[in-house]
Structure 1
Amino acid sequence: MKPDLTRYFPILTWGRTYDRSALSNDLVAALIVTIMLIPQSLAYALLAGLPAEAGLYASIVPILLYAVFGTSRALAVGPVAVVSLMTAAALSNIVEQGTMGYGVAALSLAALSGIILLAMGLFRLGFIANFLSHPVIAGFITASGIIIAASQLKHILGIDAHGHNLLDIVVSLVAHLPEINWITTIIGVLATGFLFWVRSGLKPLLVRIGLSSGLTGVLVKTGPVAVVVVTTLAVWLFGLANFGVKIVGEVPQSLPPLTLPSFSPALIGQLLVPAFLISIIGFVESISVAQTLAAKKRQRIDPDQELIGLGAANIGASLTGGFPVTGGFSRSVVNFDAGAETPAAGAFTAIGLAIAALALTPLIYFLPKATLAATIIVAVLSLVDFSILKRSWDYSKADFAAVLATILMTLLVGVEVGVSVGVGLSILLHLYKTSRPHIAEVGQVPGTEHYRNILRHDVITDPSVVTLRVDESLYFANARYLENKIHNRVAGDKGIRHVILQCAAINEIDFSALESLEAINEALNEMDVKLHLSEVKGPVMDRLEGGHFLSELTGKVFLSQFDAAKELAT
């Protein structure tokens, strides 16, 4: 049988129906995203500790590769704030910024991330990302947004400061405050204020003037470009670089170069864990926005194929002078709102960025770093959401603990430790909760065949029959809890002759739990009490029939709880 190439090359699906209307919409979307992406790419490269041109390089070939392998028709792949921060945090512990080794390490990190994502996609391991709960991700992104914004204050103030957690950054900023460059500060503050105003105040103003909503949207999106143009012209005209204003400087006027990452065993060993964390965080961010946008057009996203697409994009970045990339939230939303119909919009964006890399880089020589810092600050502060703390507190104290721990550890120690603690806590809390499953004693609702919790409803019970509903699959972590629960209920009541386990909510019984059921059956038999099962699901029954438990069961297996109670009634 021939392999289904469309499974691995989604371009073969949407490419067959590509028409002039889709081309027109994709070109418009690409133009808008390209204008937005130029300053963003430069800014995120600096955030990652790399030369500005690396941001452009990381936004060309990766987008082209994603257009071939990705399934989202609106996702815009490239550098993003959180992944750039994680890149800087990972590399600064290994290599000094500004050295050739730092750039090679960034390529290696992208390659490793790409290989991990590609392997996860080929082996259909996308479920691994589920170990990052939404509250933990929200807490991590909130804390990361604060760290990123704080890390850019050095560019706004024109001073040197270092650190990869909030405490280190604040201490370093305070220590260097006497070195503030006031011209840089004025540029940075004005640029930041203008960008915030563009986001909230420009659109209502343009609507009042009478501009169409489409044109208004385009003008709002070009706000960062306007800041780049104005501040660059100001630095050039007034020679502000001579007064200590730090500028981007010379950016190579070329297409992305061919590069090779290093696969030194020592370097790989140091980068493996950061690469895995970057891969998971990047995938979660990307798949979240991709699925959200796809749902609006009733389109389908294949998570495993998305892993392949993002893996190819990262490998492409490692071979063309880039650094780790993923699907960006803000530019993907812009791409969608601008009318992108297919991934070809991303390919056209890549062409636009290639033109910019060839023709426009001399124009950004005098671009102040304070402007790029303002672009980053405005972008990441929109990700900060402390409401997750109140919402998680109101709903689940355990989730609140995971969110708070993630935020605090990310802020005070660093991004890698923060996300690791968040994942670890989420898993531990899940294990704890499932190790103590909800087990309700139920009775018959009068006049019906329904059975409900005796503590919540007025129900009919039989003193010789105890029915326990287990609201969780049974596995090694909760098997002993079930044993204790049944023993405590039966041991003190001499009138009990039957125990029924209502299994409607049990989707799985592992080997440890099966041994516990055997022990329960034997213990009850010694007390002259029979064990019965009711409403066992088909797959669970298949597993039970494969062993000897059912042949040794002292009671019966009933199709329904009503049948069990009716037959066993005294």
Structure 2
Amino acid sequence: MDATSARRTWLAPSLRGYRRAWLRADVLAGLAAGVVVVPQAMAYATIAGLPVSVGLYTCVVPVLLYALLGGSRTLSVSTTSTIAVLTASALAGRASDDLLGATFTLTALVGVCLIVMRLLRLGSLVEQISPATLTGVKTGVGLTVAVTQLPTLLGHTVPDRDTGFFGKLSDVVGALPTTHALTAVFSAVAVGTLLVLRRTAPRVPAALVVVAASILLVTLTDVEERGLTLIEPVPAGLPAISPPLWNEIPGLVPAALAIAVMAFLETVLVARAQRQRSEPAVDSDQELLAVGFAALGGGLTQCLPPAGGFSQSAVNLGAGARTQMAGLTTAVLAVLVALFLAPVLSELPAAALGALVLVAVVSLVSPPEYARLFRVDRTEFWVAVVTTAIGLTAGLLPAVGAGVVLTLFLVLRAVSGSAARPLYPGPHGGWTTNARQDGAPPPPAGLVLLHLDITIYTGNAQPTQDAVLAAVLAAEPAPRAVVLEGAAVRRVTIPLLDALESLDADLAREGVTLLLAAFPAEVNQHALAAPWWAGADREGRVFRTVDAAVAAAGNTEGASVP
């Protein structure tokens, strides 16, 4: 590959090698995804208390930038209910005249956070966040969004307070006597239509059907005069440049970081779920870059933070999308809507968007997922429960933070145990960490054989050293040597060398020799720079294979495996 092509590998990766025969399928898929994503994004803007035009604009520049930078061929990007709710949580309590500027500053900050994460190559680290955390956050999002849409669906007027799920639910219950009958009936029909079409005709763009039918109803009847509330007028034209509010940045950084993490996770999860076997693997660092620039560009053009959405991506894939040319088509469709259909969209009832949001978030609440976690992993189950409880009481941004902290705690706990496990002769030769199998010879006498699962670092150095000494002291008869097999060790660390040197000294006091076997050649080469390892090598205690180490120990029968 020449230098020029190497420099361009980051640009439009999904369009590389594009074939003209794909164009028709991509254009049709982009249009199909657009009729889902445009009304959904407009509806999600209302979650954050923003004009629907902000949701519409989120389908333009962010979609365009992801299409040029994203690695997934069929992912459809706009905003999602999770991101909209987190944005609403971050901006709760702000005056309306400050809300728009703070929103766009937050979106740009999300982009900056994602780009910094890419520069630090943190993609694989962020992906370690527990799925149980996502389950808890999504449940909190689903329930919180559902209850915030009830006043719109029932025609209530309730105070806009940051009281969390239970406070909002109490406000809704208290306002039930003021339910507007026409709005409630309209909402029930809209929700029912969306649910029926989703189940019976999944290829039909249900969102577009409800939006179009609602606009026709307003145009042809007097429902507006009867009290059916419409959305705020949608301005015609494209968004203007929105510079960040520099004084808002310090206070928005924590929220931007939490939203960036969730936007990245949602995007990667959907991209991997959509990937076909013939497509390249999803590169987490490439996705950080793509979503980061999409958010940064969106923040400068009056948008919500973007992320990959499952529903529109599924439509995109199902309609035959081959590349991000479909995403470019969706962006063009959004531009045409903004330029020519804004007056028509202004005739849309607010309850129609509320119905779209309600149906979209219902799927986020998944009791079977909690049941699965309870059956398989009680620890992960409680992570999901705690994250959900925090999301419903303290708020969704604290829930994301708590979920990240819990995940890091569980990861550290898991990898901070001993890296040493018993090693047994295999039934057909070789060595295995499985307990003795039928037909396997007995372990050699006078030896303790152990395998290192992973390399040793600060967290697991002492537990590993303690486990090896415990195995030696428990062995009967008392062993003369320990064979430590390190085929799984991939790199040399200072804790690895220090732990082995300390272990060697402890074993020597017990009259036991430490033998090192099967460490990868590159690990052995690097470790020779350490005086202790070089000394062990000169003494003939470093072997290429376990068989060589066992033979050198001169043991022929018996067993000493813990």
TM-score of the pair, normalised by structure 2: 0.90
Aligned to 2:559: none
Residue 109 of structure 1 pairs with residue 90 of structure 2: no
Distance in 2, Cα, partners of 1:367 & 1:333? 26
Mean CA deviation greater in 23-32 or 321-330: 23-32
CA contact (8 A) 1:440 1:453 kept: no
Mean CA deviation greater in 101-110 or 541-550: 541-550
Residue 397 of structure 1 pairs with residue 397 of structure 2: no
Aligned to 1:45: 45
Residue 434 of structure 1 pairs with residue 415 of structure 2: yes
- Over 3 Å counting, the alpha-carbon distance change for 1:283 and 1:567 in structure 2 is same
* Letter of the 1:136 counterpart: T
Residue 323 of structure 1 pairs with residue 304 of structure 2: yes
SS, match of residue 477 in structure 1: helix
Aligned to 1:248: 231
Selected match of 1:513 from 473, 479, 496: 496
Aligned to 1:213: none
Distance in 2, Cα, partners of 1:291 & 1:447? 39
Mapping 1:102-501, distance limit 5 Å: 102-159=99-156, 160=158, 162-163=161-162, 165-202=164-201, 217=203, 220-221=204-205, 223-264=206-247, 267-437=248-418, 439-445=420-426, 448-454=429-435, 460-491=442-473, 495-501=478-484
How much does 1:425 deviate? 1.1
CA contact (8 A) 1:150 1:170 kept: yes
CA contact (8 A) 1:139 1:388 kept: no
Distance in 1, Cα, partners of 2:132 & 2:541? 43
How much does 1:296 deviate? 4.6
SS, match of residue 35 in structure 2: helix
How much does 1:107 deviate? 0.6
CA contact (8 A) 2:423 2:431 kept: no
* Letter of the 1:171 counterpart: S
Aligned to 1:10: 12
How much does 1:53 deviate? 0.8
Selected match of 1:565 from 532, 550, 553: 550
**CA displacement 1:413-448 (0-9 Å, x = unmatched):** 221111211111111111112112363333324562
SS, match of residue 92 in structure 1: coil
How much does 1:540 deviate? 2.8
SS, match of residue 499 in structure 1: strand
How much does 1:310 deviate? 1.5
How much does 1:231 deviate? 2.6
CA contact (8 A) 2:118 2:285 kept: yes
SS, match of residue 246 in structure 2: coil
Distance in 1, Cα, partners of 2:121 & 2:421? 37
**CA displacement 1:367-395 (0-9 Å, x = unmatched):** 22111111011112223323222323333
How much does 1:237 deviate? 4.3
- Over 3 Å counting, the alpha-carbon distance change for 1:402 and 1:508 in structure 2 is farther
How much does 1:362 deviate? 1.4
Aligned to 1:536: 519
How much does 1:199 deviate? 0.5
Distance in 1, Cα, partners of 2:428 & 2:294? 62
- Over 3 Å counting, the alpha-carbon distance change for 1:513 and 1:398 in structure 2 is farther
Distance in 2, Cα, partners of 1:447 & 1:73? 46
- Over 3 Å counting, the alpha-carbon distance change for 1:107 and 1:517 in structure 2 is same
How much does 1:90 deviate? 0.6
SS, match of residue 72 in structure 1: coil
Distance in 2, Cα, partners of 1:166 & 1:33? 31
- Over 3 Å counting, the alpha-carbon distance change for 1:452 and 1:23 in structure 2 is closer
How much does 1:508 deviate? 4.0
SS, match of residue 400 in structure 2: helix
* Letter of the 1:474 counterpart: I
Aligned to 2:87: 87
* Letter of the 1:200 counterpart: R
* Letter of the 2:142 counterpart: G
Percent identity, please. 29
**CA displacement 1:274-295 (0-9 Å, x = unmatched):** 1112112111211222233232
* Letter of the 2:128 counterpart: F
CA contact (8 A) 1:530 1:555 kept: no
- Over 3 Å counting, the alpha-carbon distance change for 1:454 and 1:358 in structure 2 is closer
How much does 1:45 deviate? 0.9
- Over 3 Å counting, the alpha-carbon distance change for 1:37 and 1:560 in structure 2 is same
SS, match of residue 232 in structure 2: coil
Structure 1, unaligned stretches of length 5 or more? 204-216
Structure 2, unaligned stretches of length 5 or more? 557-562
SS, match of residue 501 in structure 1: strand
Aligned residues: 547
Aligned to 1:207: none
Mean CA deviation greater in 226-235 or 478-487: 226-235
Distance in 2, Cα, partners of 1:465 & 1:368? 79
Distance in 2, Cα, partners of 1:242 & 1:148? 28
How much does 1:168 deviate? 2.6
How much does 1:454 deviate? 4.9
- Over 3 Å counting, the alpha-carbon distance change for 1:502 and 1:283 in structure 2 is same
